[in-house]
Amino acid sequence: MEVLARTLDVTRRYGPVTALDRVALDVRAGELIGFLGPNGAGKTTLVQLLAGLRRPTSGSVELFGGDPRDPARRRRLGTTPQETGLPATLRVSEVVDLAAAHFADPVPTRELVARFGLAGLERRQTGGLSGGQRRRLAVAVAFVGRPDLVLLDEPTVGLDVEARHALWDAVRAFHAGGGTVVLTSHHLDEVEALAERVVVIDEGRVRVDGTLAEVRSQVPARRVRLRAAELPELAGVDRRSSHGDRHELWTADSDALVRGLVTARVPFRDLEVAAASLEEAFLALTSPGVTTAPSTVTKGSR
Amino acid sequence: MSTPTTARLVGIHARYQFTETVRIPIAVIGTTIFPSLSLLFFVVPQPFAHDPAAATAAAAQLAVFAVMSVCLFTYGVGVAEDRALPWDAYLRTLPVGPVPRLVGRLLNGLAFVVLGLVPLVLIAGLLTAATLPPARLAATAVALLAAGVPLFALGISIGYALSTKAALAVAQSLLLPLAFGGGLFLPPDTFPAWLDAISTWLPTRAGRDLVVSATTGASLPGSTLLVLAGWTLLGGSLAVWAYRRDEGRRFR
């Protein structure tokens, strides 16, 4: 499959701070990739490198086969301003028109505005929009040039649930039409809902790069909850937290664990077995030490 | 359909920057009206306002001052402010090089210079003995442009090299020394010898001499064009260096 963007052994430092540490990554046509990581993990720096906003300290970045700092390489790229950084005095239609002017075959302003639920607001200055409307406009401009690849840095920050879902639909529709998407998020449910491939970044390094299922398989897949006055050491428990008689156990094999509980004649009740969420996967991956179970984790550390 | 041409993008960036600025009129009024007010309060009541040569020179000096304040504030502080905004980073991800935005910015600055010069010329023409024969108009415009080039480069350097707060501080601390030292407020023939010696090397002094010469026909010191060229080269190199190393905000 065609590689649209690529980082080769990229390191980026800001003075003494290493934001990215030897990151190697391919973005192939048709993928929907989620960069997941806590704040300051290096996600934004990675997106900025792909968009040509920053230079790597070492290594190289390719976008559509060339240097992303060359404007011609960005013709098939769509990005969104971070936060709600729109010029406050410009009108909605002016912001879209300005972005559209840079592309050979832009989406008509009226159509784009309608697609992102901003119809009727064209004459409004962006400073007079609600936070959610501004955010939608910021995401909308990423799609104005009919791009092949869009980079969405924290696209739904500050949106309510309904607006978030509307935006997810727009992203899914773009992807269904053959578009490639890279989005960053620390909303775990967002990545879980949208991404097919998950890249977990922490402290400037790629911790995991794989499909949603693969990321799940790298971490305890099942969470077992139960109540019991006392719990013996059990085989196959990756992580455990206990509060009084309530226990949460993470394991790769919940069947074996339950059999173990029965065999050990533990007088448990309220047994609950569930698939671990990506959030748990994420926590396990980005907080080294927590996974080196069996250990007791207090409530505060979650 | 084809990729938009640079000329079209220049027009678009110029237009939007202008729109953005004039929708907050007070921001424009500050830089455009100060030279006219200075003329009104510090030149019009003076006896030399009745001397055509002196009055014309005084108006010419203030015209250079108008150019300088636009260069230091619109370009210097304005660029630094823009760089701090996420919108600026967004624009830099569009398939466009620096030229349309830079030229758009240049045209915008010129528009504000003109806005500032109109009342200045009117006041000078109506309330003082200053004269500007039509034959000298073109030469004056060229002289003002030439005087503005090194100041433009200096402003761009400040804007791309410094943060908003630092740019504001640097622009403010350069404004008055460059204005007084360059003879934009008081004519250089009132300077003591030591100040005159320093003044000769300032870009504002060279610009002032050029514009005064264009408006009044006064003879031009031999050093003027050399000093202007030198500052243009220096400011230009600094601006290119600052632009190249710029990556928007420093962190994250």
Tell me if the domain spanning A3-76+148-216 has CATH number 3.10.129.10. Answer: no
pLDDT band at residue A84 under the 50/70/90 scheme: low
- Smallest CA–CA separation between A78 and chain B, in Å? 8
Nearest to B20 among A52, A55, A89 (CB): A89
pLDDT band at residue A291 under the 50/70/90 scheme: very low
Q: What is the pLDDT of residue B97?
A: 85
Nearest to A52 among B1, B2, B93 (CB): B93
- Segment A66-80 mean pLDDT: 93
Query: Do A87 and B2 make contact, defined as CB atoms within 8 angstroms?
Result: no
Query: Do B95 and A77 make contact, defined as CB atoms within 8 angstroms?
Result: yes
pLDDT band at residue A280 under the 50/70/90 scheme: low
Q: What's the rounded Cα separation, in Å, for the pair A201 and A46?
A: 10
Indicate which of B13, B21, B28, B87 best probes the interface with A, i.e. most A CBs within 10 Å of its own CB.
B87
What is the per-residue DSSP string for chain B?
A: --PPPHHHHHHHHHHHHHHHHHTSHHHHHHHHHHHHHHIIIIITTSGGGGSHHHHHHHHHHHHHHHHHHIIIIIIIIHHHHHHTSHHHHHHHTSS--HHHHHHHHHHHHHHHHHHHHHHHHHHHHHHSS----HHHHHHHHHHHHHHHHHHHHHHHHHHHHS-HHHHHHHHHHHHHHHHHHTTSSS-GGGS-HHHHHHHTTSHHHHHHHHHHHHHH-PPPPTHHHHHHHHHHHHHHHHHHHHHHH--SSS--
Does residue B145 surpass a pLDDT of 80? yes
ipTM: 0.80
Contact B95, A103 (CB under 8 A): yes
Mean pLDDT score of chain A: 86
Cβ neighbours of A98 in B, within 8 Å: 12, 16
Contact B160, B79 (CB under 8 A): yes
User: Which residues of chain A does CATH 3.40.50.300 include?
Assistant: 3-76+148-216
Q: Name the interface residues of B facing A (CB cutoff 8 Å).
A: 1-4, 8-9, 12, 16, 19-20, 23-24, 85-87, 89-90, 92-97, 247-248, 250-252
- Segment A52-61 mean pLDDT: 93
- Segment B150-166 mean pLDDT: 93
Does residue B83 surpass a pLDDT of 90? no
Query: Do B252 and A44 make contact, defined as CB atoms within 8 angstroms?
Result: yes
- Smallest CA–CA separation between A196 and chain B, in Å? 25
The sign of the dihedral angle between the CA atoms of B202, B208, B214, B217 is: negative
Does residue B158 surpass a pLDDT of 80? yes
Cis peptide before A294 (omega within 30 of 0): yes
Q: What angle do CA A208, A209, A214 make, to 5 degrees?
A: 85
- Smallest CA–CA separation between A50 and chain B, in Å? 10
Domain ranges of chain B: 6-245
Q: What's the rounded Cα separation, in Å, for the pair A177 and A174?
A: 5
Nearest-by-CA chain B residue for A94: B16
Does residue A61 surpass a pLDDT of 90? yes
Query: Do A53 and B94 make contact, defined as CB atoms within 8 angstroms?
Result: no
Q: What's the rounded Cα separation, in Å, for the pair A122 and A91?
A: 7
